[in-house]
Structures are given as C-alpha cells and as structure tokens.
Amino acid sequence: MTNGLDETSFAPHEALARDLLPHAIQGDDGSHDLAHIHRVFRNAMRIHASEGGDGRILAAAVLLHDCVAVEKSSPLRSQASRLAAEKASAVLAARGWPPSDVEAVAHAITAHSFTANITPETLEAKILQDADRLDAIGMVGAARCFYTAGRMGSALYDPADPLAQAREIDDRAFAIDHFAAKLFKLSDNFQTKAGSLLARERHDRLKTVLAQFIDEI
C-alpha cells in the first residue's frame, strides 16, 4: 500500500484490508484514493461503534465502494456505484463469500452514491452512505470539491455572480456552485443518529469555508 498506509491502518479488519485493497483503487483520482477509503473507513467504524451492524460486511463495502473509477464528468457517473457493486460481488464470490453476504455488500455499495439516488435498506448500507458523505462535507469535502473542479477544468467561481443570485447554478463551470448544488444538501439526509451528529459539525465548517471564500474575493 502507499501514502504511508498499510493493512494495520484498517484495524480491526487488517486481514480483510490486505486481501481486498489490491482491488479497491482504479485510476488516479486523488479525491477517491486510498486516503479517501481510509477516511471513510474511520468514519464508518466510528458510526458502527454507536449504531452496531455487521462489521465484516461494512468493512468490505467500505474497502470496495469505489473499486470502479468513473470521472465526475462522465455520462456513466450515475452508474458508478452499480459498476463498483458488480465488481465487488465478483471479487467476494471468488473468495468464497456466501451469496447473502455478497448481496449485502453489493447493496451497501450501490446505495452509497448520491448520484444513484437509491435508498439504503440495511444498517450497513446506511452507515456506508453516511461515512462516505461525511468525507464530502467539512474541510476535507471543500478540498475535494476544489480538487475535482480542477480535474474537470472548472473555474473557481463566476466573478460577476459568485453565489448565483441571478443565474442558474452550474457546478460544472464553477467550483463553488457545487456547495449549493450538492454539498449543502447532504447533512439533511443522513441515515443514522451518529452520522447526523457528525454531519452537523462538518456542515457548519463547510459554511465557514464558503463564507471566508466569498469574503476574500
């Protein structure tokens, strides 16, 4: 593994991380890299400690939730979680996982995506969705937003109307439009009590980032 991380960074699921992480990353997207998986894993374990659920199912879903890379600008973006779930299912089936466990992991992966708009039906799916969305808000979420905007060739903001008060929001053209288009909506739709509490704190941080950005421009 890279970035100073190894399987011990994924305790208490070190063996699972050693086995699955070679299948977890595709492409060179720094917003969906090993560090992202590790942050989501830590978020998930923190929520799991409060909410319960099957830790092995949850850990496998976290480790493989971005195992198929689809750029934000791709027309296949809405299918990314389904494609990842299909690959994860094949990886786990090849390791002899019971079909019911494979299905549970696949559902959690499919339902974690904001773009897919699929309701999580299991506790593990709810925790993964919350854990992944926590990484999209707060300071890290702001950093990932600007990083992704750079990959897409977007401008930071519209100098004539930064907050889109007299124009349509366009987060493909302007990075900070993504705050209103998506990021500020996430904290209202968390699935678990523990996740919701963490989300409120990170939502406030995200609001501060935007306020300071607007002040400086």
- Show me where the domains of the chain are located: 1-132, 136-217
At residue 74, the pLDDT reads: 61
Q: Are 192 and 134 in contact (CB under 8 A)?
A: no
Q: Which whole number is the average pLDDT over 191-197? A: 97
Reported as a single tens digit per residue, the pLDDT across 143-167 is 999 999 999 999 999 999 999 999 9
Residue 103 is given by DSSP the state H
Decide which of 1.20.58.1910, 3.30.70.870, 3.30.565.10, 2.30.30.40 is the CATH code for 136-217.
Answer: 1.20.58.1910
Reported as a single tens digit per residue, the pLDDT across 31-67 is 788 999 999 999 999 999 999 999 999 999 999 999 8
How far apart are alpha carbons 101 and 106 in whole angstroms? 9
Reported as a single tens digit per residue, the pLDDT across 8-24 is 899 999 999 999 999 99
Reported as a single tens digit per residue, the pLDDT across 77-109 is 667 889 999 999 999 999 999 999 999 999 999
How far apart are alpha carbons 192 and 9 in whole angstroms? 24
At 126 the three-state DSSP class reads: helix
Alpha-carbon radius of gyration of the chain: 17
Q: Are 32 and 69 in contact (CB under 8 A)?
A: yes
Decide which of 3.40.50.150, 1.20.1090.10, 2.60.40.10, 1.10.3210.50 is the CATH code for 1-132.
Answer: 1.10.3210.50
